Amino acid sequence: MSAAAYVIRRVTPVDLPMIAGWRARPHVIEWWGEPRVEPEAEKLEDSRIAMWIVEHDERPFGFIQDYAAHDWDPHPFSYLPLGSRGLDLFIGEADMLAVGHGPRFLRQHVEEMFARGVPAAGADPHPDNVRAQRAYEKAGFTAVSGPQDTRWGRAILMDRRNGVTR
């Protein structure tokens, strides 16, 4: 599989029902909570957040959001350089889980952000979400904190810096 094996495109209003369906699936609810929490329709209007659909072989199966971490105060990623982006993602299609897609599309997305000049990216998986932590590690992220409470819930902070290869 090539490095650009995924189409990562902006979410449009047409995508909202598909995302809502994914958000209602048990494997997504487990880590993202109920779909009514932070609904994507509201985030689509927020200029601080960019939302993306991930496709493989013309099949949409994943979701990424990246956001301007310094636009929320306080934020766990305030230590990162200005212009850094926080990341959240999930795979909506259960048959696409645990086959290596997460780390690959995550790496592709982060490298595209870095090519646009983003200095660093941060991720904050739940301490119990070992699958997500491994995906971030495989995509070049390093854990920089132990478990901590944030205003968005319990998390381990992880980051990846532009120009730093791990």
* Helix, strand, coil share (%) of the chain residues, nearest 5: 30, 25, 40
Domain hosting residue 58, numbered range: 7-123
Q: Among residues 157, 54, 138, which one has the least CA distance to residue 96?
A: 54
Taking the C-alpha atoms of residue 159 and residue 85, their distance in angstroms, rounded to an integer, is 10
Give the pLDDT confidence of 1-15 residue by residue, as tens digits.
444 689 999 999 999
Give the pLDDT confidence of 146-159 residue by residue, as tens digits.
999 998 889 999 99
51 part of a folded domain? yes
**How confident is residue 120, by pLDDT bands cut at 50, 70 and 90?**
very high
Taking the C-alpha atoms of residue 57 and residue 23, their distance in angstroms, rounded to an integer, is 22
Taking the C-alpha atoms of residue 131 and residue 137, their distance in angstroms, rounded to an integer, is 10
100 part of a folded domain? yes
94 part of a folded domain? yes
Amino acid at 11: V
Number of domains comprising the chain: 1
So what's the pLDDT on residue 4? 60
pTM of the model: 0.91
We report the CATH number of the domain holding residue 25 as 3.40.630.30
